[in-house]
Amino acid sequence: MSAVTSSESVTISSVLNDAPPLSSSQGARVWQVTLSNPSGNAGDGTVTALTFTKGGSDTAGNWANAIRSADVFDGATHLGSGIIAAGTISFSGLNSTVLDGGSKTLSLRLSLTNAPGLLADNSHFQFVLASGNITMAGNSITNASINSDATQNKIDVAASRLVFSTPPPVSVEVNSNFAATVQAQDANGNIDTDSVASVTISRATGTGAVSGGGPLSLTNGACTFSTLQYNTREIFTIQAIASGLTTATSGNIAAAIKLWANVGTTWATS
Nearer to Ca ion, 22 or 191 (CB): 191
192 forms part of the interface with Ca ion (CB under 5 A): yes
DSSP 116-128: TT---TT-B--EE
With CB under 5 A as the rule, give the number of residues binding Ca ion: 8
Among the listed ranges 31-39, 76-84, 164-172, 234-242, the one in contact with Ca ion (CB under 5 A) is 31-39
Q: How many CB atoms lie within 10 A of CB 106?
A: 24
Among 37, 111, 147, 188, binds Ca ion (CB under 5 A): 37
Nearer to Ca ion, 50 or 89 (CB): 50
How far apart are alpha carbons 189 and 115 in whole angstroms?
8
202 alpha carbon, distance to own chain's centre: 30
Nearer to Ca ion, 37 or 229 (CB): 37
Smallest separation, CB 5 to Ca ion (Å): 25
Among candidates 184, 185, 188, 179, which has minimal Cα distance to 196? Answer: 184
Applying the rule CB under 5 A, the residues between 120 and 149 that interact with Ca ion are 121, 139
Look at residue 66 and give its three-state secondary structure.
Answer: helix
Applying the rule CB under 5 A, the residues between 79 and 118 that interact with Ca ion are 100
How far apart are alpha carbons 43 and 139 in whole angstroms?
6
The footprint of Ca ion (CB under 5 A) covers 37, 41, 100, 121, 139, 157, 192, 194
